[in-house]
Structure 1
Amino acid sequence: YLDRVNSDREERRVSLFHVLLCAMARAQHLRPKMNRFIVGQRLYQRHKLEYSFGVKKKLDDEAILTAVKLPFEPDDTIDTVIDRIDSAISTGRAETKTQSEKEMRLVASLPRFLTRLVVWGLRVLDYFNLMPASMIAVDELYCSMFVANLGSVGLEAPFHHLYNWGTAPLFCSIGKVESTPVVDARGGIVPRELLTIRWSFDERVADGFYCARSLDLFKDFVSNPELLEKEPGEAKCARDPEKAKAISTG
């Protein structure tokens, strides 16, 4: 698919990362329970979809690793996702510090007892759902999912813990594409290029059955990326329309 769709594109080329994020967003919009979170022992439904991911300023050992957060809309297509992701990466790699970086630098400059006091105060506000919206808007850990694209630097996907700060109910680790021996339909061993994605999930926001069906929908979009070229209302569901309809509404 990538070879075909990029054959006549010199700019705004589609990458595997673009397809994966677009498929995740499309599936999560259709499965709203996967966009819930728990704060202060209460369950909340998030009304917007935002993903955060890490961006290395430079491919250098000493370069800073920052994070960016970007929204996804229900009618996003692969082209709108490309523009948004590429813009976010450019912002993350810019010399200008992000608002989150400025805040972290300020807190880190405080004496340690004041840092502990500030963090405690913020946790109290968060517990009672009183955290200022302006702080939530720039904090990358207040998101629908945190994504680590480790395959972009040639690493395998690890299992990653959920953060104990913020409201991300999902963590996604994307590994590198590897040639792997698999058993074909005839029982023979053949090489195939496989991608490993590992997920961490807060099972309090939805049960495992709901999560598994949501992953089925995500895999359906990845297996049929042409669906992501159109808005959801224009795209016919993938390999099994009845199954896809049941997954998205069940």
Structure 2
Amino acid sequence: MRRYDRKKLPLKAFEKLELALMPTRHESTIITNISIKSEKIHDFLKENDVKIFAFVLYACLKTVNEFPVLKRFVLNSQLYEHKNISVSTVMKRDKTVAGDSTLAKLKFDPEDGLQDVQAKLNQATQQTRSGAGIEADKLIEGFGKMPTWMFKLAIKIMMRLDSWDLLPNSIIDDDPFHATAVIANLGGIDGFSVLHHLYNWGTASMFLTFGRLQDDGSLDVTFSVDERISEGMVLFKALAYFTAIMEHPYDHV
């Protein structure tokens, strides 16, 4: 079965050794926290009529475009690269504390601008809160009806199929963890950025959390990254690029 979402990459000798020593995404996670400080960000968001979440997504999109290695992921000791860019995020079905949450998967084009990102975020939010549901919900609810033993068995089978490039495209399309990255806007619930693990299921090599944008323009962001996708120098340059976009918005939009 042709995997339209990924392409296999050649491995160097050191990369083969690294993947053999660290076979899972969970044990390969490195985590770093960065503190954004921008005196102009509030004015910028107001002038462009966008939310901080959309701007963080836009900064991520620009960074991935500049550093394509961030689209990489590892399955079954093999290095791949996503052909497309998608980001999954937790969304509340309503604004109450007790309200249910779901994972929405947003798909982006490399040339998407800030307004495009905000529009796609608005669309996902409206769909989530309209009661119409999203494809990820239908997928999860379907598996949720299984007995626990059957559910665990199904997950093991699907993980094996995925590692063999045999997982159906329909599941890859709908599953929120088959994405470039997962982002949690914890500031939306008055929270703060946290250190988060990566999931062995799926293809997301990055998990990003951020807290509430403060009145002085400061924002804490935490990145969890699979260190096997690239050497450290490239990852640090990518973080510096992301920080520059966030701190100097007028120069990058």
Whether contact under 8 Å (1:78, 1:228) holds in the other structure is: no
TM-score w.r.t. structure 2 length?
0.79
| CA gap 1:154/1:30 in 2 versus in 1, 3 angstroms | same
Measured after TM superposition, the shift of residue 215 of structure 1 is 0.8
| CA gap 1:7/1:203 in 2 versus in 1, 3 angstroms | closer
Name the SS of the counterpart of 1:177 in structure 2.
Answer: coil
**What CA deviation, in whole Å up to 9, does each residue of 1:72-98 have, x standing for no partner?**
222121111111111111112221222
- Which of 27, 30, 51 is matched with 2:87 structurally? 51
**What CA deviation, in whole Å up to 9, does each residue of 1:214-246 have, x standing for no partner?**
1111112222222443xxxxxxxxxxxxxxxxx
- Pairing 1:73–2:97 present: no
Whether contact under 8 Å (1:77, 1:228) holds in the other structure is: no
- Pairing 1:29–2:65 present: yes
Q: Give the whole-Å Cα distance in 2 for the aligned partners of 1:5 and 1:221.
A: 12
Q: Give the whole-Å Cα distance in 2 for the aligned partners of 1:114 and 1:155.
A: 36
- The match for 2:235 is 211
CA RMSD, Structure 1 to Structure 2 (Å): 1.8
- Which of 224, 233, 237 is matched with 2:248 structurally? 224
Whether contact under 8 Å (1:177, 1:194) holds in the other structure is: yes
- Divergent runs of 4+, >6 A: none
- The match for 1:202 is 226
- Pairing 1:130–2:166 present: yes
- Pairing 1:93–2:117 present: no
| CA gap 1:209/1:3 in 2 versus in 1, 3 angstroms | closer
**What CA deviation, in whole Å up to 9, does each residue of 1:118-150 have, x standing for no partner?**
112111101101111111011111111100000
**What CA deviation, in whole Å up to 9, does each residue of 1:165-194 have, x standing for no partner?**
111000001112346xxxxxxxxxxxx542
| CA gap 1:118/1:70 in 2 versus in 1, 3 angstroms | same
- Pairing 1:41–2:77 present: yes
Percent sequence identity is: 25
TM-score w.r.t. structure 1 length?
0.80
Which structure would you say has the larger Rg? 1
| CA gap 1:194/1:50 in 2 versus in 1, 3 angstroms | same
| CA gap 1:100/1:127 in 2 versus in 1, 3 angstroms | same
Structure 1 portions without partners, runs of 5+: 180-191, 230-250
- The match for 2:194 is 158
Q: How does 1:94-109 map to 2 (within 5 A)?
A: 94-109=130-145
Q: Give the whole-Å Cα distance in 2 for the aligned partners of 1:44 and 1:215.
A: 21
Q: Give the whole-Å Cα distance in 2 for the aligned partners of 1:214 and 1:2.
A: 20
Structure 2 portions without partners, runs of 5+: 1-39
Q: Give the whole-Å Cα distance in 2 for the aligned partners of 1:135 and 1:52.
A: 15
- The match for 2:4 is none
- Pairing 1:17–2:49 present: no
Q: Give the whole-Å Cα distance in 2 for the aligned partners of 1:196 and 1:8.
A: 23
Worse overlay, 216-225 or 165-174: 216-225
Q: Give the whole-Å Cα distance in 1 for the aligned partners of 2:246 and 2:45.
A: 17
Whether contact under 8 Å (1:49, 1:72) holds in the other structure is: yes
- The match for 1:118 is 154
Whether contact under 8 Å (1:67, 1:92) holds in the other structure is: no
Name the SS of the counterpart of 2:188 in structure 1.
Answer: helix
Count of residue pairs the alignment pairs up: 214
